[in-house]
Amino acid sequence: MTPQRKIIHIDMDCFYAAVEMRDNPSLRDKPIAVGGRASGRGVIATCNYLARSFGVRSAMPTHKALQLCPDLELVPHRMAVYKQVSQQIHEIFHRYTHLVEPLSLDEAFLDVTGQSHCQGSAKLMAQAIRQEIFDVTGLTASAGIAPNKFLAKVASDENKPNGQLLITPDHAGEFAAALPLKKIPGVGPKTSERLARMGLSTGKDVLALSDVDLEKMLGKFGPVLWQRCQGLDERPVEPSRIRKSVGVETTLAKDLTSLEQCAEQLETLVPELERRLAKSRKGIKGQTVKLKFHDFEQTTVSQQSQKLNPDLFKALMRIAFDRGHGRNVRLVGLQVELDNTQNLKQLTLPLV
């Protein structure tokens, strides 16, 4: 009989901002954010909970954050420090299990099924891990404990900051059915709005439909959503995740107003993409162009391709730009989908 899986999702509390408050105690009682300056195209990377009380959020333009919170203290990135702290945290994870799947510098899934630590209790292991993180780094973390990755991730956000939540197998379905759909990973703002227009706001609402109905309405994500609303997720914790894509993008200091200006960005982006692709030593099976417009809406256009082709990027760029219906462009991005079944045969191609 296969043992019931025990998954822990650990998520540091406002990680970058917490490191800055730890290293500079004068910031602890102030609303702070780590990110770029408002004078450029600054974006908030993260902020502390006091700043969040004013409505400041990650990925928000800095100028908007300052409108919401005029006393916001802006702190520049110190990525080398964050990486060093992250390494300390991940060393703690590996004391409890070798099945650790990093999601970013400050969060990870841990499969502790069958581990003997803390009498085999995943709840106690999560408490112990969080305490060790605090003892070593002085930072707090939150945790979700559940029989699968989806529920563990959602649970880790329920009692933030510095808390945890256990979802037992017996309560998994009940918990998922009561969830607001916007809390389910994969349901972004636009999908949430679309579901609301359909009269769907909770997992229970979704379960009144069939997976076939949802596939017609939402495409491939429909059946996935149907599974999640039942509290189901069979994905394993993957310590060595295979990289599926390589990308590069640039946020412009000044909006681009024409297709020609967007196409000019290929002259710097394509060589950088080639350099990153060469490091991966993989072939490709598709190319994508991403444009983000001045109102922060974005679009992506993709096409299958077995060789990196700058001319294809130009064609995809034209389609993406036309979708903007005259809107100015603030970000241009390129991406290739990797073919992990073969080595890269041609690393560079000249711009035409």
Rounded to two decimals, what is the model's pTM? 0.76
What are the residues whose beta carbons fall under 8 Å from the beta carbon of 172, sequence distance 6 or more?
A: 146, 147, 148, 151, 231, 232
Cα torsion 254, 258, 262, 263 to 10°: value is -150
Cβ contact 129:96 at 8 Å: yes
Domain with CATH 3.30.1490.100 in the chain: 245-339
11: annotated binding-site residue? Answer: yes
pLDDT digits (tens, 9 = 90+) for 54-108: 999 988 889 899 999 999 999 998 999 999 999 999 999 999 999 999 998 999 9
Instruction: Kindly name the residue from 20, 73, 101, 107 that is annotated as catalytic.
Output: 107
For residue 1, the model assigns a pLDDT of 67
Specify the amino acid at residue 68: L
Q: Which fold has domain 172-228?
A: DNA polymerase; domain 1 (1.10.150)
Cβ contact 140:161 at 8 Å: yes
User: What distance in Å separates the CA atoms of residue 286 and residue 246, rounded to the nearest whole number?
Assistant: 11
Domain with CATH 3.30.70.270 in the chain: 1-167
Distances from the Cα of 202 to the Cα of 184, 195, 340, angstroms: 10, 10, 38
User: What distance in Å separates the CA atoms of residue 341 and residue 79, rounded to the nearest whole number?
Assistant: 33
User: What distance in Å separates the CA atoms of residue 85 and residue 65, rounded to the nearest whole number?
Assistant: 27
Q: Specify whether the backbone of 326 is left (phi greater than 0), alpha (psi in -120 to 50) or beta.
A: left
Q: Which fold has domain 245-339?
A: Dna Ligase; domain 1 (3.30.1490)
106: annotated binding-site residue? Answer: yes
Q: Which CATH number fits domain 1-167: 3.90.1150.10, 1.10.150.20, 3.30.70.270, 3.40.50.300?
A: 3.30.70.270
Q: Is 107 annotated in the active site? A: yes
pLDDT digits (tens, 9 = 90+) for 225-254: 999 999 999 999 999 766 788 999 988 878
